[in-house]
Amino acid sequence: MISVLGAGAFGTALAVSMQRESDARTVWLWGRNADVMAQMQASRETPRLPGVSLPDGLTCASDMASLPAHGPILLATPMQTLRALLTTHAAQLSHRTLVICCKGIELSSGLRASEVLAEVLPDATPATLTGPSFAADIARGLPTALTLACGDANCAETLQNQLSTHSLRLYSSTDIIGAELGGALKNVIAIACGAAIGAGLGESARAALLTRGYAEMQRMAAALGAQPETLAGLSGFGDLTLTCTSEQSRNYRFGASIGRGEAFDPAVTVEGAATARATHDVAKRLNLDMPITAVVTGLVEARLDVATAMDMLLSRPLKKE
């Protein structure tokens, strides 16, 4: 049995993929809105993924009392609401294997998702599922590769076998720090790249921001104990490349709207906005030089416009690569 908490586009896509591609699995999908989940259960479709049919074996529910007692639980809720979810349902989630599917750093504490989990549920086993992916691709069965990281190598391998499908290929890792940081920090750089393209600064500017942004990601990851090779893999460079170059990325689109001077739909979750502010705080605490993160924080907080932000980056002292 596989349980997925969070019936947004990504959580539903994971549930669809894992149920559709294996009759041996049974997948249980939970969402907070009882009416929405009842409609999904009856209609076998969701407005979050137009044109995607929910497999017959997939159960849609809103009552946590019916959470299956065995098997891994995937947490596909936004980063900034993760603590509340864990706290509210601590009794059901304690002592379970919890696979974190959100990407970000908690704004109020500066903690990674697995650190939040350890604070709230110290008896649970944390893992993270992250990498270059869009919900629509996963739901349609298009080839996708992700990183499954857990500090326990045996648990990582078990989860890799439990959660992989024919089209969703998982690579195991024991570097949960690096995997989480790659998934979180790339969203900040995606906002920068989107802002550059939205402002008409060109593809060369995007390439520069992507590359120097990757250097910032590596800098923070090293300071926090991540393995350098993790950032060169799917959860780091892979996710960064996808998120900084596609209109499907909410963070990239958010940045592009800033560059064009347009309003962005407040109903759309943009994990990179809060993560930029949290990362900037952590960088200051660790005395890390992260200039792109700093200007993205200024853009998110409307303290800077794109022209000023770019001038701040271009006027920095010249240095070796």
CB 187, CB 104: distance < 8 Å: yes
Mean of pLDDT values over 123-138: 97
pLDDT of residue 187: 98
Residue-wise pLDDT tens digits, 291-313: 999 999 999 999 999 999 999 99
Distance, CA of 88 to CA of 82 (rounded, Å) = 10
- In this predicted structure, the answer to whether residue 226 has a pLDDT above a threshold of 80 is yes
Regarding predicted confidence, which is higher, 47 or 28?
28
Tell me phi and psi for residue 225, to 5 degrees: 95, 15
Residue 276: pLDDT band (50, 70, 90) is very high
Across the chain, mean pLDDT equals 96
- In this predicted structure, the answer to whether residue 318 has a pLDDT above a threshold of 80 is yes
Residue-wise pLDDT tens digits, 190-223: 999 999 999 999 999 999 999 999 999 999 999 9
Q: Give every CB contact of residue 229 below 8 A, 6+ residues apart in sequence.
A: none
Cβ-based neighbour number of residue 265 at 10 Å: 10
**DSSP class of 53:** B
Q: Which residues pair with 3 in a beta bridge?
A: 28, 73
pLDDT of residue 88: 97
pLDDT of residue 308: 97
Cβ-based neighbour number of residue 87 at 10 Å: 13
Residue-wise pLDDT tens digits, 104-130: 999 999 999 999 999 999 999 999 999
Cβ-based neighbour number of residue 191 at 10 Å: 36
Q: Which helix (H) or strand (E) holds 171?
A: strand 168-173
Domain ranges of the chain: 2-177, 184-315
pLDDT of residue 52: 95
Mean of pLDDT values over 257-266: 96
Residue-wise pLDDT tens digits, 140-198: 999 999 999 999 999 999 999 999 999 999 999 999 999 999 999 999 999 999 999 99
Q: Environment class of residue 119 by beta-carbon count within 10 Å: exposed (0-12), middle (13-18) or buried (19+)?
A: middle
Mean of pLDDT values over 64-73: 95
Known catalytic residues are 186
Residue 229: pLDDT band (50, 70, 90) is very high
CA angle at 117 for the pair 281 and 151, rounded to the nearest 5°: 95
Q: Give every CB contact of residue 226 below 8 A, 6+ residues apart in sequence.
A: 175, 177, 178, 181
Residue 25: pLDDT band (50, 70, 90) is confident
pLDDT of residue 283: 97
- In this predicted structure, the answer to whether residue 24 has a pLDDT above a threshold of 80 is no
Nearest one of 99, 117, 112, 105 to 14, comparing CA atoms: 99
The three-state secondary structure class of 169 is strand
CA angle at 111 for the pair 81 and 74, rounded to the nearest 5°: 50
- pLDDT-above-90 percentage for the chain: 97
Distance, CA of 165 to CA of 18 (rounded, Å) = 6
Q: Give every CB contact of residue 3 below 8 A, 6+ residues apart in sequence.
A: 27, 28, 29, 30, 67, 68, 71, 72, 73, 74
CATH 3.40.50.720 fits 2-177, yes or no: yes
Q: Environment class of residue 187 by beta-carbon count within 10 Å: exposed (0-12), middle (13-18) or buried (19+)?
A: buried
Count how many Cα atoms sit within 13 Å of the Cα of residue 176 in the half-sphere of its side chain.
22
Cβ-based neighbour number of residue 317 at 10 Å: 4
Task: From the options 3.40.50.300, 3.90.1150.10, 1.10.1040.10, 3.40.50.11540, give the CATH code of 184-315.
Answer: 1.10.1040.10
- In this predicted structure, the answer to whether residue 241 has a pLDDT above a threshold of 80 is yes
pLDDT of residue 21: 76
Token representation of residue 143: 């080839």
Q: Give every CB contact of residue 225 below 8 A, 6+ residues apart in sequence.
A: 177
